[in-house]
Structure 1
Amino acid sequence: MVRVASSVKVGSAKLVLICISLLGFALIADFLWASSSYSSSLWNSQHSSSSPSNFILVTNNNNNNKNNKKNGKKRVLAAAYADLNGPQLNWEKMLTAPVPRLDGAAIQINHLLFVFAGYGTIDTVHSHVDIYNFNDNTWGGRFDMPKEMAHSHLGMVTDGRYIYVVTGQYGPQCRGPTAHTFVLDTVTKQWEDLPPLPVPRYAPATTLWRDRLHVMGGSKENRHTPGLEHWSLAVKDGKPLEKEWRSEIPIPRGGPHRACIVVDDRLYVIGGQEGDFMAKPGSPIFKCSRREEVVYTDVYMLDDEMKWKVLPPMPKPNSHIEFAWVVVNNSIVIVGGTTEKHPETKKMVLNGEVVQFNLNTLKWSVVGKLPYRVKTTLVGFWNGWLYFTSGQRDKSPDDPSPKKVIGEMWRTKLKLNNI
């Protein structure tokens, strides 16, 4: 009897010890997952933001759905994260860009699309310009950028000949920003310096308005804190008319990755986010580590009164759209982007819609679906064709998180209803 009782005690103790060990291992694993950076891949974002309580069931007509039903699984997304309904567009695949790009920049001048910089991978960045010709649908005319120029998160705008390039991130991973500012003569392919921005910024909203180069918002030097500052510099024919930037009315809400557009002498700032990845403290390569982000639907406008006005919000939160827009028939058309993080997986969710903001009615609508979800894509419009190239696409129709960095070029005929 004594031996049996002793054996039971020893067995119970071992069982308790095993349970405690397993629990400890699970806690450590969970801690390591929650505190890990995204290492060598910027493309699998997994940081969280606020999680809304209203959920809808998202259904797709594909084999993955059937497999999920067999396995007893359901795809559940919060309403703000779900794909929006819209008409299917007939997309035609064109010639792929010479290199894949993420967080690059693009400017269209007539039939030419100038495509700048960007990540190739999280550890490599581009320092050159490629040109796409919409007339014959070919790539060519590659030339180098200045060595001091940023490689991603650029502010950029054109007057029709000169391209003004403002600040941005210098180098791969999550390195620091530069305050350097340049201007490119697209006829001679010559670069010139402009007065540096008062302080460096990541992905500031940038445009030309009333003969001045305007730069506002973006992220501050730590890459995460939103900037509210707004500066302007008088310029003409690629030349600065002042030696220093002038302070302007601050933007109501700071942050990077937003569209900034001037139409009919009105300045619009659309979408964007607060927060971004930061360099891991002490990392010699400035390894990126995740931080909380908040993506928003905000639309602001400046006009003759020089006061920021709030306009109707986007259909859902959208960021990473700084070069993903065109103006067609007095409408702003925006392609792809990112929305709030998935409430369960905590991964970044990409957008797969083409949306229209009708400036006659100030109403938003979904005018089409993309061949896949994509962020930081580069957009142009020529002879009725809407083009997009580069960026980072989704993993699959059932997985809206980012995966492959692409250089693909697509186009579709675009017809808009402006009533």
Structure 2
Amino acid sequence: MAKPFAKQSLLRYTIVAICAGIVVLVLFTNVLWASSYANPLSKRSVHESERKVLTINKETVISFCGPKSNLRWIDQALIIRKARQLENVKEERDTQKEKAKNFPNEDNALELEWEEMAEAPVPRLDGAGIQIGNLFYVFAGYGTIDLVHSHVDVYNFTDNTWGGRFDMPKDMAHSHLGMVTDGRYIYIVTGQYGPQCRGPTALNFVLDTKTKKWSSLPALPVPRYAPATQLWRGRLHVMGGSKEDRHEPALEHWSIAVKDGKAVESEWKSEIQIPRGGPHRACIVVDDRLLVIGGQEGDFMAKPGSPIFKCSRRSEVVYSDVYMLDGEGIWKQLPSMPKPDSHIEFAWVVVNNSIVIVGGTTEKHPVTKRMVLIGDIFQFDLNVLEWRIIGKTPYRLKTTLVGLWEGWLYFTSGQRDKGVHDSSPKKVLGKTWRTKLHLPVQ
């Protein structure tokens, strides 16, 4: 009767020895991995130690020392957590390889030195920014999802100060505005009225920046949310955006003749439709060419029946398309951005026949499905029609407001990421930054 008991004891001691060996191996190789990872020159050591530890995954640990095991002193959760961390390292390395293959120019991005400037009086998300000379007019925007701003703040690039705050008209939209200037008058088109996910308005306004007086323009034929807006050939052009539900992309394109802050015509004229609709895109005129860059199809909608129009996530498709309208009156497609990008309507400047775009949002995370912010700075060289990534912002962000003064690239406000390892959106900011801009020469 003693032999079966001896065999059971021997089996138990064997399992104990195997599990103990696993633990020692995990801890030992993890120490080697951590020490070699701390030295960026020891890439071979990193990869070898990863391979050793990655073989000890969750299934291996549970099969040897499963939930019913009497070996309670083994911290299975710790082993599994370490294994997952190392798997994430491998996944990140594979992602970087794929990224380098798809976006080779990103590796050549400049190491920019950023300087923090005077912070804006209030944080802003989905606001608008227009530069006239050394003054940067910053409009409206969300402070929080339940609080919207109804005033204008003015930043002086010369002396790094904020001041001159004044109110907007009571009927003017609070976010997702279309906006452009002729150098004195700022034309404001439609946008969302109120917090959360309320619908858009069709009302339009003009600000005389010299007198700080407001006037109105004829209403758009229908309300629009975040339409692409520009002045081109004496006409105010408004196109795309989202329809009244905030989600369905709009393709319509209208224009109206304007001069010195007033409409010369009484009604909007229908123009050739934009090839792809949607909000949150850059709209720029360079060398008598009208360009529309990036954007998305779909956006948050108001939850059905919600008395406060509470925002509810819907599917979104972010794209990298670039379209141009020239004197022939035909939309032409130009080279796409290096990656899909949206929430960039006021995140651009034109310098040395190049368009520079800062930050934005790209395709959603493939696993979590969360929105992904980016901190890339893009250059579109109009001389050769080529894109490149020329630098990074201090953190990833969207709907930032961008200006250029005396060779310095500025951005202020927007919503930043959750941290270095999490690109999803978190805090709405009023911070202002600048860096000396040096564009690569082709």
Find the counterpart in structure 2 of residue 74 from structure 1.
Answer: 88
Identity %: 74
In 2: Cα distance, 1:243 partner to 1:414 partner: 43
The answer to whether the aligner puts 1:332 opposite 2:355 as a matched pair is: yes
Tell me, yes or no, if structure 1 residue 405 matches structure 2 residue 428: yes
Shift of 1:133: 0.3
State the alpha-carbon separation in 1 of the partners of residues 178 and 304 from structure 2. 26
Q: Is the 8 A contact 1:80 1:317 kept in 2?
A: no
- Aligned match of 2:280: 257
| Residue 61 to residue 97, structure 1, CA distance change in 2 (3 Å) | farther
Shift of 1:195: 0.1
Q: Which residue in the other structure is 1:209 paired with?
A: 232
Distance 1:136 1:109 in 2: 15
Q: CA deviation at 1:88?
A: 1.7
Contact 1:80/1:316, CA 8 A, preserved across alignment: no
User: Aligned partners of 2:157, 2:289: CA distance in 1, in Å?
Assistant: 28
Q: Which of 383, 388, 393 pairs up with 1:365?
A: 388
Aligned-partner Cα distance in 1 for 2:295–2:317: 9
Give the match for residue 386 of structure 1. 409
1:176-229 C-alpha deviation (Å, 9 max, x unpaired): 110000000000000001000100011000000000000000000000000000
Alignment pair present for 1:157 and 2:180? yes
Give the 3-state SS of the residue equivalent to 1:284 in structure 2.
Answer: coil
Q: Give yes or no for the alignment of 1:111 onto 2:134.
A: yes
**1:141-152 matches, cutoff 5 A:** 141-152=164-175
Classify 1:80/1:375 alpha carbon distance in 2 versus 1 (closer, same or farther; 3 Å). Answer: farther
Counterpart secondary structure, 1:72: helix
Kindly tell me: are residues 187 and 294 of structure 1, through their superposed partners in 2, closer, same or farther at Cα, counting changes over 3 Å? same
Match of 2:161 in 1: 138
Query: Offset of 1:247 from its aligned partner?
Result: 0.2
Checking the alignment, whether the CA contact within 8 Å between 1:230 and 1:251 is kept in structure 2 is yes
1:223 aligned to 243, 246, 249, which one?
246
User: SS in structure 1 opposite 2:111?
Assistant: coil
Find runs of 4+ consecutive structure 1 residues off by over 6 angstroms. 60-63, 65-70, 80-83
Identify which of 279, 286, 308 aligns with 1:285. Answer: 308
Q: Which residue of 1 aligns with 2:398?
A: 375
Q: Map 1:154-193; keep pairs closer than 5 Å.
A: 154-193=177-216
Shift in Å at residue 71 of structure 1?
A: 3.7
Give the structure with the higher percent helix.
Answer: 2
Deviation at 1:417, TM superposition (A): 2.5
Alpha-carbon deviations, 1:23-69, whole Å to 9, x = none?
xxxxxxxxxxxxxxxxxxxxxxxxxxxxxxxxxxxxx9999x99977
Residue 266 of structure 1 is matched in structure 2 by: 289
Aligned residues: 359
Residues 399 and 68 of structure 1, relative CA distance in 2, 3 Å threshold: farther
Using the TM superposition, give the Cα deviation of residue 101 of structure 1 relative to its aligned residue in structure 2, in angstroms.
0.2
Report if aligned partners of 1:206, 1:215 keep a CA contact under 8 Å in 2: yes
Show CA shifts across 1:379-411 (max 9, x none): 000000000000000111111110010000000
Q: Secondary structure at the match of 2:88?
A: coil
Residue 87 (structure 1) shift: 2.2
Largest Rg, 1 or 2: 2
Which residue number corresponds to residue 271 of structure 2?
A: 248
Q: Distance in 1 between matches of 2:173 and 2:99?
A: 33
1:101 corresponding residue in structure 2: 124
* Partner Cα distance (1:61, 1:380) in 2: 39
Runs of 5+ in structure 1 lacking a partner? 1-59
- In 2, distance between residues paired with 1:174 and 1:113? 27
SS at match of 1:74: helix
SS, match of residue 286 in structure 1: coil
Query: Matched residues in 1 for 2:205 and 2:434: separation?
Result: 31
8 A contact 1:384–1:414 mirrored in 2: yes
Which of 132, 145, 169 is 1:122 aligned to? Answer: 145
Tell me, what secondary structure is at the counterpart of 1:365? strand
CA RMSD of aligned residues (A): 2.2
> Contact 1:68/1:74 (CA < 8 Å) preserved in 2?
no
1:170–1:177 CA contact under 8 A, matched in 2? yes
Give the counterpart letter for 1:335 in structure 2.
V
What is the rounded CA distance, in whole Å, between the counterparts of 1:253 and 1:62 in structure 2? 48
Shift of the alpha carbon at 1:107?
Answer: 0.2
- 1:16 is aligned to none
Higher relative contact order (CA 8 A, sep 6+): 1
CA–CA distance in structure 2, aligned partners of residues 214 and 412 of structure 1: 32
Relative to structure 1, the CA distance from residue 404 to residue 62 in structure 2 (aligned partners, 3 Å threshold; closer, same or farther) is: farther
